[in-house]
Chain A
Amino acid sequence: MIARALAALGRPALGTLAALGRGGIFAGSALSHLLRPPFYAREFWLSCIQIGWLSLPVVGLTALFTGAALALQIYAGSARFSAESVVPSITAIGMVRELGPVLGGLMVAARVASSIAAEIGTMKVTEQIDALVTLSTHPMKYLTVPRMLAATLCVPVLVGIGDVIGIMGGWMVGTGRLGFNSATYMKNTWEYLEFWDVGSGLVKGAAFGFIVALTGCYYGMNSGRGAQGVGRATKSAVVAASIAILAANYLLTEVFFAA
């Protein structure tokens, strides 16, 4: 009875550890290929367009509405202490440190990790990955490395643009609904914002981009057979990327800002 209960606990724990190990080996292999030629420039640029440029609308809209809602919430909270003047600075700090990178990362995870997993998973079940190998092309170099590099470089840019749009969202609500003077709002925003507030968010963006591409490629390459296998790989990629982003966000926040 006790042995069975322990086995029931141990099995998923071992399964999780094994999955983490496989993911770690996959990441190590991808990084080692990143440093060795050949490099596929065309694949890299296409990935930059797919991951960066085409994610801009969804990240921008997310940032806009988040910045606007954040300004309203901070106003409602700060009004209890007659400290409404903090709205611009707290909105900006909240956006660039946390909400910009985290929500941007999650939106990219939903859009990009799913698409990468589905694309590579379909390639696997239709033997396109095998075809790549027979054509003397390493799938890790051709499929994984360009996507990981593109995501790691593009997501911080998306986060930076999202930060600006989010602050603008706060400004629109602040000046349009909460009665702030436009110049004062902008002055308070920039005055209290420090370089590392923005820099830490961009570093988080790079880490989240890496996670998104890594999980998408990993689950795609390990996709099961048929439509169900690809569907499961896609779902798992989004879930794993989202959880990994939230966990990495906590760890990075501890590293960057713990007293």
Chain B
Amino acid sequence: MIEMQGVQKSFGPKVVLRSVDLTVPRGESMVIIGGSGTGKSVLLKCILGLIQPDGGLISLDGQDVRTAPRDAFLARFGMLFQGGALFDSLPVWQNVAFRLLRGSLKRPQEEARAIAIAKLRRVGLGPDVADLFPAELSGGMQKRVGLARAIAAEPGIIFFDEPTTGLDPIMAGVINDLIREIVVEMGATAMTITHDMTSVRAIADRVAMLHDGRVQWTGTIAEMDETPDPYVQQFIHGRAEGPIAALR
């Protein structure tokens, strides 16, 4: 279970997270929505320790993430970055098997390659892609490779940062379905940040809306459609008029 209590983060005078309280139970798929610049990515990076929060507490299964042994802590996570963040200098299979080729999870090269090819197959890519370099792939293929890398070491927690940004609707649908299938299949805890309401409906068990540095609302998809919260209603229907625009 991931638990955040009063998490704060500012960059200079700009306050991004005022006080975020959020709990993600084990095995749940939580999707965080919110306008651009509301700190969704910052929140994920605070959990992973890529950004140090200014205040508050983040714990994983009851342990403060700041005091958790770093390697063992990170080994529990997989992350799909917005742009894929594939390593240009490595072929696709070495990107996917990166964690399996070094560190505490190191395997023999042949075994790591076999796992990478199996994971590529799981995201719908053939073994012929394994020896290509990331620059030779389309945006959709890069996302799939990023997804294969995120699940290669079978982590218990997977983060997805804007998984469908920049993809056409069909490819976005494919990625959404893959994420849902993989999360259910692996029984993983998932946190996804997105603006894409189709993704929200495809991926989420629960939704949290971040606004003005706080969690404005949380609930299930069904509750999201029914809630009278004007912020949520404005966001999910993409209305220009409403409290969010008024505050900007």
Contacts and interface: CB of A to CB of B under 8 A. Distances in A.
Contacts of A127: 81-83, 85
Given A128-B87, A130-B50, A131-B87, A137 B81 contact: no
Interface in B72-89: 74-75, 77-79, 81-83, 85-89
Contacts of B48: 133-134
B103 interface: yes
A134 to B, nearest CB: 5
Interface of A: 38, 40, 46, 122-123, 126-128, 130-131, 133-137
Contacts of B88: 122-123, 128
A131 B85 contact: yes
Interface in B137-188: 149
Contact of B85 (A46, A130, A137): A130
Nearest to A122: B88
A66 B221 CA distance: 73
B103 A137 contact: yes
A40 B98 CA distance: 13
Nearest to B50: A130
B121 interface: no
B66 interface: no
A135 B76 CA distance: 10
Nearest to A134: B79
A171 B99 CA distance: 54
B81 A135 contact: no
A130 B159 CA distance: 13
A134 B50 contact: yes
Contact of B104 (A131, A133, A136): A136
Contacts of A40: 102
B214 to A, nearest CB: 25
A214 B166 CA distance: 36
Contact of A136 (B45, B50, B87, B99): B99
A135 B50 contact: no
A123 B86 CA distance: 9
B102 A137 contact: yes
A136 B69 CA distance: 11
Contacts of B61: none
